[in-house]
Amino acid sequence: MRQADRARQAFAEAFGGQPEGVWAAPGRVNVIGEHTDYNEGFVLPVALPQTTRAAVARRDDGVVALVSLQHPGERVEVAVADLAPGRPGGWAGYPAGVVDALRDRVPGGLSVLVDGDVPSGMGLSSSAALSCSVALALRDLAAPELAVADLVDVARRAENDFVGAPTGILDQSASLLCTAGNALFLDTRDRSSEQVPLDLTAAGLELLVVDTGTTHDHATGGYGDRRRECEQAAERLGVVALRDVPDLAGLAPLDDGTAEGALLLRRARHIVTENARVLEVVRTLRGDDGPAAIGPVLTAGHASLRDDFEISTVELDTAVATALEVGAAGARMVGGGFGGSAIVLVDAERTAATVTAITDRFAVEGYRAPRTFAVTPAPGAHRLG
């Protein structure tokens, strides 16, 4: 059954009527530019073919009613007037947070049926896919004067203020603004963006996602620590954001002989070198050398996330090292870290051998079997019907 029909049918079963429409928003992988977004730097994501779908209809009883096919048996109902950070919590917090951000537009409430296939907790931005599908639905139904780019902040506020995950704008921008066949080169400071063609098939390459099956949660723990450390480093350097440090020499004041200084230096060094890597990858993709030439830059990005930012895991390091051992052009962990997925840029003829090598190595190490799939840059959020 088509995705839109499946969502419509499930909506009718859950709410007893037809939705006003069905909207889809994708997950993402970031080609390069990790943790740069909340440092006002550069990112280069592509949208995944996997999406979250939201079948939506306005109501007139002042209630937000939420059902997800991925959480069977759970029906969340909250009065619009009672929406507050953390209420509701869990998966329902993302769509509820979007309604909260636009609550004056839907005083009568909303019914939302969610369906999707973006793996959750795997660094592939399932939460932004969920928020963005509902944000686009609300825009189309009740806030037509908003541009799609305005929805980036609607979805970000849902995540930051309602759910309590202190993320930047990478995931929401990717889900809303990516286009098929392109990577999105975004300056998160002034929000200017360009579409950078990324035709891997023509170059005989594949971009593999390796989902290690280890999950993370950005509302708790290490992600927030890294954000605070970057803010501290920027403050010590007297800059608004680490984006303003032009090169490694600019980090010298952090090297004050203390353990704290050394830690802040490592964190800031990742941001400075990662911004440079985004610019280098964009330059390379626009040049004549072909996309395989970005491989070593991706691999350098992994080393930086592992050694300087310290957010990789043994599973991610093993996936990357194994891929490189069997001849991948480049590989790195993606997303917020502390689990999740890696990407591998590989000659298409070597894909099967690479997957086998990683799977075998995970079995030997006693890790959970990885899931792998190839990505071609897909469209951003859109109405399905």
Residue type for position 192:
S
Tell whether residue 335 is a contact of ligand GAF (CB under 6 A): yes
Q: Between residues 15 and 42, which has the closer beta carbon with respect to ligand GAF?
A: 42
Among residues 171, 206, 308, 315, the one that binds ligand GAF under rule CB under 6 A: 171
Name the segment binding ligand GAF (CB under 6 A); options: 135-143, 168-176, 230-238, 244-252: 168-176
Q: What is the rounded CA–CA span in Å between residue 291 and residue 60?
A: 52
Minimal distance in Å, beta carbon 34 to ligand GAF?
4
Tell whether residue 173 is a contact of ligand GAF (CB under 6 A): no
Pick the closest to residue 121 from 343, 378, 339 (CA basis). Answer: 339
Token digits of residue 334: 């993606």
Q: How far out from the chain centre does Cα 50 lie?
A: 12
Q: Between residues 330 and 336, which has the closer beta carbon with respect to ligand GAF?
A: 336
Residue type for position 35:
H
Tell whether residue 88 is a contact of ligand GAF (CB under 6 A): no
Question: Which one from 37, 100, 115, 171 is the annotated catalytic residue?
Answer: 171
Tell whether residue 34 is a contact of ligand GAF (CB under 6 A): yes
Q: Between residues 125 and 359, which has the closer beta carbon with respect to ligand GAF?
A: 125
Tell whether residue 40 is a contact of ligand GAF (CB under 6 A): no
- Say whether 244 is catalytic: no
Q: What is the 3-state secondary structure (H, E, C) of 50-63?
A: EEEEEEEEECCCCE
Tell whether residue 341 is a contact of ligand GAF (CB under 6 A): no
Among residues 52, 167, 175, 341, the one that binds ligand GAF under rule CB under 6 A: 167
Tell whether residue 170 is a contact of ligand GAF (CB under 6 A): yes
Q: What is the rounded CA–CA span in Å between residue 282 and residue 196?
A: 7
DSSP labels, 234-298: HHHHT-SSGGG--SGGGGGGG-SSSHHHHHHHHHHHHHHHHHHHHHHHHHHHHSSS-GGGGHHHH
Q: Between residues 26 and 109, which has the closer beta carbon with respect to ligand GAF?
A: 26
Biggest CA–CA distance in the chain, Å, is: 66
**148-162: string of b/e by CB count within 10 Å (b at 16+)?**
eeebbbbbbbbbbeb
CA dihedral defined by 301, 307, 310, 315, rounded to 10 degrees?
A: 80
Binding letters toward ligand GAF, positions 110-129, x by CB under 6 A: ---------------x----
Cα dihedral 364, 367, 371, 375 sign: negative
Tell whether residue 336 is a contact of ligand GAF (CB under 6 A): yes
Name the segment binding ligand GAF (CB under 6 A); options: 33-41, 85-93, 108-116, 317-325: 33-41
Minimal distance in Å, beta carbon 245 to ligand GAF?
18
Q: Residues touching ligand GAF: how many (CB under 6 A)?
A: 13
Other beta carbons less than 10 A from residue 35's beta carbon: 27
Q: Between residues 19 and 27, which has the closer beta carbon with respect to ligand GAF?
A: 27
Could you give the residue numbers annotated as active site? 171
Enumerate binding residues for ligand GAF (CB under 6 A). 30, 34-35, 37-38, 125, 167-168, 170-171, 218, 335-336
